[in-house]
Every structure is written in C-alpha cells, then in structure tokens.
Structure 1
C-alpha cells in the first residue's frame, strides 16, 4: 500500500503479485493500516488520506488480477506504521488520561478509534473494482492486530477481553470473511502446561483462550527462532520449530477445532554465517514439516514466508526479505512447496 501510494512505483506491487502467482502462491498477507502523519492511511482518528486508500484499492485489484487472495491486518502492535503506540498517543494528545501503550486494549476512547478504523476499512468501496471491501472475494480474511503483546498482563486475559469485544464487532459488519487474531502463538495462563513450548518467555497473548473466541475462524502462529533463541545453533532452532508447529497443530485440532496457518516465518540475512543455501535449507525443512503435518492431520492449512519484495524496495528490507527474481533457488523451493500443497488439497478433497 505504501509503495502503491506513489503512482510511479505501482509497477513494483504488480511485479510482486505476478511473480508470487507464477511461483504458485495463492495467499498474501499485508497491511490495511498506516497510522499517523500526512503520508499515512489514517492521518488522525477517523481522518484518511484518500490517495493512500486508493493505493490499498490498487493492491486489492492487483491481487485479484493475479488470482491471489489477501489476509489484511487492521493495526500493528509495534510503532512501525504507527500501530498501537500511535493510537495511545492520539488519545493522550486529545486530553485522555493514559498510562502506557497497553491502554490500547482497555481504554474506551482508544477502542473507539480502533472500531472506527475497522468500520472505515471494511465499508470502503474500492475505486477500481467498485466492490466494498466487506464484499470483496479477493480478501480471504481480516486480522485484528499484527502480533498483539501486552507488558502489563502476561497472562493473556487483557488481550483476550479485547478480542472478545473486537471479533464480534468485525463480524457485525462483515460476516462473509474469515477472521483471525494475528497471534504469534505464545501460550498464556489458560493451560499452564503448554507454556513449556514457549521460547523461554511470554508476551501477554494466549494461543488457546484468544483463539477459542467464537468469532475467530482460524488460528495463526509466527516463528523467528533466530531472533527468539539468539546464540543457539541451527539444530536447536530447528528442533524448536518442530515442537512449535507440532504443539500448535495438536491444540488446533483437539482443543480449538479450527484450522492453523503459519502466517510468518523466515531466516534473516543478518544471522551469523547466513547464505542463501542456509535459508533455502531452513525453508525446505519448515515446508516439509508443514506438508507432513497437513498430510497427517488435515488441520495445518499452509505457511506464509516473511517477506516477498520487488527489486528497488530496499527501504522495506529487514533481513528477511526475499526478491524472487534475484534468487532462483529460493523461488524453486517456494514453487515446489506450492505444488505439493495444491496437490494435497486436491487429494484431501478440500473445498474453499
């Protein structure tokens, strides 16, 4: 969306969708948020930059052209693109008494800002397709928040109360699309025994209770063992990944009774000893595990690597970027997995 807000750069968005589609990818997760400042989507609470909104229209239109469906996230946990801290700052600037960024989950004024953004996005009429976002079949799902965390309450209860309020609100506007929370997969206090699978810490979310909210349609996990287990070797990190996937699949199947999607994973170029072959090997291992678990359990719906960019999008580099045209080996790894998952989908008789 940010790239597409410059008409001279829109070809890069088109390239990413075309290259992703050629590699067999069918789902893209991206942002329906950018908060604070004149160049953002939401300049201030309820005030939108029409040029940036039209850029999001363009993203949806290009996805539609290339047969790619979208998961659109509605706010960020972090200060990047404004996020939760910007919402709290807006409230503070208007004279609302706030204590910290975690007031995002509890303050009525801030929750009102968020609900207004949800309504503004979901009821938006796309200027290109002429279809309201809430009626757009190219959109597969909404995500409440990217990687929710809460420092004042590690139990998961504060975030859970917020999900219990916001998930029904989204569904009150749009009952056609799927909805997910945006979780990384950290376990909270609802089932203490499961915390053994966390990477040594909690972040305030609860994979079990947050996903048990009725209006949440599928569960998600993210994993960055190179970041979460800094200093550990590849063997230890891969063993963690295997346990992470297996435990969450088991819980999704037996407790949640909902599908599971691995919505973010990757290997950073900033890791010691990194090279493309090590990234390809890592991705192959993760993909093989996803395929094996999906084949045996049927609940594992797939995996989304973080992040695909086009050439010339260097300002978005974070170490995890993949430019398919610059790495044929990685493109092949992705294509092979796509083909295997599509074949498995047909073999299992899964319908969309």
Structure 2
C-alpha cells in the first residue's frame, strides 16, 4: 500500500518548484480575502457547502475506491447548489481504535494510491466549479491524527478516545503534547510540504496553482487541551504551532487561503480571548466555527421534542457570538460544521429529520442575514453528505474493511448525522438556501 519512493518523489517535485519571487502568471478563479469578505476575481464569494471527508477514498482506483459513485455524488451536490466541499487530505496509520484505513501515510512514507484519489477528486471538483477546503491532520482519533504523530515519536504511547481508564479530558490533554513535540510537528510539517507542494497526477497542475483549492486547514478541530486551565497554560505552544504552520503553508501556496479548522468557543475553553488569539495571525485568513447541539448536551437525545427550541436558541446565540468575534478581527467567518440528529436519535435513512430541518434553516438564515447586511458570515458546510452510502451492519457501527463511506466517520454510528440522497426535505432546504444566496446583489 505504502510507496516508499513517494517521499523522494515529493522532494523532487518541490525542488522543481519556481522560487517564490519568480514571476508567474496569476490564474483566475482563486478565492481571496478582502477584509471581512471572500471574493473571486473581485466579486463576492458566498457559498453553500458540505463536508465530504471521505471523498479521496472514493477517488482511489480499483476496488478500494468508487470513482463512478464519486462522480454521481458530486453531480447531485452541484445540482443542489453546493459549491464548497470540506475534505480530509490526511489520515495517519494508527493503533487507535476506530481509525480509518487505508491511511494517507505511516510514520516513514506516504500512500500514493490515496493521494492519487485526492488528485482525482480535485480534478472532478474543478470540472464542476467547486471549491475545496483540505485539512491536514486531525485532533480526533478517527483519522489517526495528532495522537498518532505522538505515538510515532514517544515510544508508542497513546490514549484511546472514550477509554474508561482515561476519561475526558485525558485524551485532549495528552494530545496537547503534540504542539510541544518538535519531532511530532516535524513529521507533520514534512507531510504538509509534500501535500501542499504536490503536483496533481490527473491535471498536471501543482496544487498550489489550483484555484479549485480554496483553503488549506491546519487540522480538523485543533484545540490547546481539554479543560480551561490547561487550555490557558498551553496557549503559547498552541499559538506558535498555528502561526508557524500557517506561515509554512503560505510560503508554499501564497495564492490560497489558510484557516485553523477550530470549533470556536467550544474548542477554546469557552474563552472569547482564546478564539480571538487562535484566529489573529495575519496568515489565518478567516474564522471558523462548528456547532453540535446534540454532542454538547444542549439537545437531550432522549427528549428532542422538549429541548429542541432551547438547543436551537443556544445555537443561534453561538453564531451571533462568532459573528461578533469575526467583526472584531475584521475577518470572514464560516460555519464549516453543523450537525443535528434525526428524530428520536435514529440512524436509518428513512427516519424523519424534522428537528434537523429546523436547525438547518436557522444556520442558513444566519448566513443569509449576514450576507444581506454585508457582515462577515459568508458560508456554511453541513455535516455531512452520505449520499448513496448506506450502513452495512444492523448495529450501524463501522467495522474494519468497510468501504460504504458515509458522512459519519468510523467512530460514530453510521447514519447519525449524515444526509442521504433520499433526504428530500433537507436537500430542498439546501437548494432553497443556495437560490437565496445567489439572489443577493453584491
């Protein structure tokens, strides 16, 4: 699976890259930041987006992937007005439970087959005028992530998420060691250089020259630690990692945006100052926020009817707080993850999604209101598109070797938050929002 010549090939490709100061034609179509707005070729860029973390796996050749399904999924999403996809461009081969296989890399080399899968996805997205946001590692265990990098350099020590022997916040606090481990960060930065500096084998275009890539993201949901005391203590190392990695990416891909992938307040010890610091670097182009009322206890999963109104009120307030922080920073804001369970917390594709539909309307209304007022909130990506994917097992659990690929990652029940192609009411809401955004005059 792992091609150990890949590292040498990546270094050779980097050596062939023109120097940063060398004149180069500037292609059109890149998403740019203009103050608190995003633009393309001088026009406002606002979007309806989705998370499709598994797209590169579908893009692989042969039995491991399903390129025909990938094309169908992209066609359906484009038809619904979705123009922005947030994707995993990472997965570390991991000893952690529930971590996805195959992975993009092991400790010493990279998986060229999966990287070609990503090449294929980006080529297909470009054909449909879609933009990609690519995250480069993960705070959580389901794709290996920072805990795996640490295990590679600390003699194999790690903690599984939700291990009863190490209750929360042990996992998050252990993971914070990543930011102060020079060896772990060096391995991660090697991967950043190789992927951001890659040349697409399908199109022949360098990733850094591809306007289909809107932004590189440091990680999925990075946070400094678990509890607030440790978050505050770890801020210097966390902020140094953010600034240093963002600067590295900008040196490799100066035409593309960089974002943190932060949840916002919930990933920052509920501290406004920490959210501001996390997004203050001049090399971080926009603010991100994620909203999970069910995971955070706002929505009681055994009493959705009785708690839905309050959960949605808290979510609207959460958005308002992040709009205010984006305004203070003078940067755009994207709600790049938001999810809500199906009625009665069921997972089946035919289960009703009445409460979820209302939640989607709230998020979409906030984006539309901001866009109409010229505010910083410019787009959203729902979590997550499952499309044709269906749970393989009656218990809705992912098992090693599964290749159904749903929006719910391997550590979660398959069908929990995913939007299926048969979710007509949800898809109608997405289409209506896309039409409303398109109707707003610049």
- TM-score, normalising length: structure 1: 0.87
Deviation at 1:50, TM superposition (A): 1.1
Which residue in the other structure is 1:321 paired with? 418
Q: Can you list the C-alpha shifts for 1:191-245, whole angstroms capped at 9, x where unaligned? A: 96x48xxxxxxxxxx3100101110001110000111125541111111111111
- Asked if structure 2 preserves the Cα contact closer than 8 Å seen for 1:32 and 1:56, the reply is yes
Which of residues 256, 259, 266 in structure 2 aligns to 1:180? Answer: 259
- Asked if structure 2 preserves the Cα contact closer than 8 Å seen for 1:88 and 1:100, the reply is no
Which residue in the other structure is 2:311 paired with? 237
Which of residues 139, 151, 156 in structure 2 aligns to 1:89? Answer: 151
Q: Tell me how many residue pairs correspond in the alignment.
A: 329
- Quick one: structure 1 residues 293 and 26, their matched pair in 2 at CA, closer, same or farther if it must change by over 3 Å? same
- Quick one: structure 1 residues 330 and 121, their matched pair in 2 at CA, closer, same or farther if it must change by over 3 Å? same
CA RMSD of aligned residues (A): 2.4
Which of residues 148, 171, 196 in structure 1 aligns to 2:222? Answer: 148
Superposed counterparts of 1:90-239, under 5 Å: 90-93=152-155, 100-151=174-225, 153-155=230-232, 156-186=235-265, 194=272, 206-232=274-300, 233-239=307-313
2:62 matches 1:7 = yes
- Asked if structure 2 preserves the Cα contact closer than 8 Å seen for 1:222 and 1:262, the reply is yes
Q: Aligned equivalents of 1:248 and 1:341: distance in 2?
A: 20
Deviation at 1:182, TM superposition (A): 0.4
Q: Aligned equivalents of 2:203 and 2:80: distance in 1?
A: 25
Q: Aligned equivalents of 1:272 and 1:49: distance in 2?
A: 37
Which residue in the other structure is 1:198 paired with? none
Q: Aligned equivalents of 2:142 and 2:287: distance in 1?
A: 24
Deviation at 1:313, TM superposition (A): 5.1
Q: Aligned equivalents of 2:91 and 2:269: distance in 1?
A: 33
Paired residue secondary structure (2:133): strand
- Asked if structure 2 preserves the Cα contact closer than 8 Å seen for 1:15 and 1:310, the reply is no
Deviation at 1:251, TM superposition (A): 1.5
- Asked if structure 1 preserves the Cα contact closer than 8 Å seen for 2:298 and 2:314, the reply is no
Which residue in the other structure is 2:33 paired with? none
- Asked if structure 2 preserves the Cα contact closer than 8 Å seen for 1:13 and 1:310, the reply is no
- Quick one: structure 1 residues 129 and 178, their matched pair in 2 at CA, closer, same or farther if it must change by over 3 Å? same
Structure 2 residue ranges without an equivalent (≥5): 1-55, 95-100, 158-172, 301-306, 392-403, 409-413
- Asked if structure 2 preserves the Cα contact closer than 8 Å seen for 1:258 and 1:299, the reply is yes
Which residue in the other structure is 1:32 paired with? 89
Q: Structure with the greater relative contact order (CA < 8 A, sep ≥ 6): 1 or 2? A: 2
Structure with higher helix content: 1
